[in-house]
Structure 1
Amino acid sequence: MNHQSNSFARAGRGLAIVAVAVLLSACAQPRAKPLYSWQAYQPSVYAYLQDDGADSAVQAQALEKNIETARSANVELPPGFRAHLGMLYLKMGDGDKAVEQLQGEKVAFPESTQFMDFLMRNVGKAPAQPSASAPADESASATKPESANAAVSKKGS
């Protein structure tokens, strides 16, 4: 009788292990697809900010490769990616490619419009018309800090 109870105990332990394994595997969720393709972006920004003599052309080439892999994986580029690539193009002296990337950043992330317009004005490639998101009267006052407006009104009195 002892032998029979041992086999029932082993079978019970085996069933318990199988049940736990089934429960744990049912709880596992598939890995979520990433929202953005970060690949070369963060190391490139770090190298740019360190200004350690890293070649801008090499960084731009790595980012361009990142664009291709993101397209093939159907993943979006992160915020600031195109703007950073545009700044690299500026550093290399290619203003047209820089403006193309800055315009792309505006399209992908409309909240960056004012900053991208600012960068393009400093490049000398300002857009022909003011952006639709800000009326012409507000765009001039939006760039001035309120303290500057207050200082002007104090000087005038």
Structure 2
Amino acid sequence: MLNNLAMVRPVALGRAGRILAVAALAGALTACAQPKSMYSWQSYQPSVYAYLKDDGADYAAQTLAMEKNIETARATNAELPPGFRAHLGMLYLKMGEGAKGVEQLEGEKAAFPESKPFMDFLLRNASKTAENASQAAQPEAAKPAAPASQAAPEQATKKGA
């Protein structure tokens, strides 16, 4: 009887040891696996760096690379990172494509509601920039006449002369 108990115990420890070894191996392999990224970063970070560095940055090339990122993210069903749309919108605004820029800023605001105050600020500035650009593009004849308060001093000097 003692011999039977002695035989059962090493077999039980052997099974437990094997199970423990398999569990440890599975845990080690799982720990080495890379977690899936929450966002599709791709060329976003290099694009931001190039924009901030401003070494004669080619905004058209940056927007093209970022548009490719959008297509890749859509194809893989991945999310764009925070700030991606805002950065693309700023690039569009720098290139004079106001409608596309505003669309991207609105998209950033919709995707990340916490960015709403900053996106509203950028949108206000974008509309001011667009107004200034359109006024500068108007010919002199199409510009509105000067207000009467500015014309009055000229008339006063003529009367006094």
More helix by share: 2
Q: Give unpaired runs (5+ residues) of structure 2.
A: 1-17, 129-161
TM-score (ref. length: structure 1): 0.64
Counterparts of 2:61 and 2:48, CA distance in 1: 13
* 2:58 is the alignment partner of 1:55: yes
- Give the AA of the match of 1:39: Q
Q: What is the count of residue pairs matched by the alignment?
A: 112
Cα offsets for 1:86-144 (capped at 9, x unmatched): 0000111000000000000000000111111111111117xxxxxxxxxxxxxxxxxxx
Cα offsets for 1:50-87 (capped at 9, x unmatched): 00012100000000000111111111000000000000
Displacement after TM superposition at 1:46 (Å):
0.2
Counterparts of 1:97 and 1:31, CA distance in 2: 36
Alignment equivalent of 1:67, drawn from 64, 70, 92? 70
RMSD: 2.5
Higher-Rg structure is 2
Counterparts of 1:31 and 1:117, CA distance in 2: 37
Identity percentage over the alignment?
69
Aligned positions of 1:48-127 closer than 5 A: 48-124=51-127
Counterparts of 2:62 and 2:25, CA distance in 1: 43
Q: Tell me the secondary structure at the aligned position of residue 54 of structure 1.
A: coil
Displacement after TM superposition at 1:26 (Å):
1.3
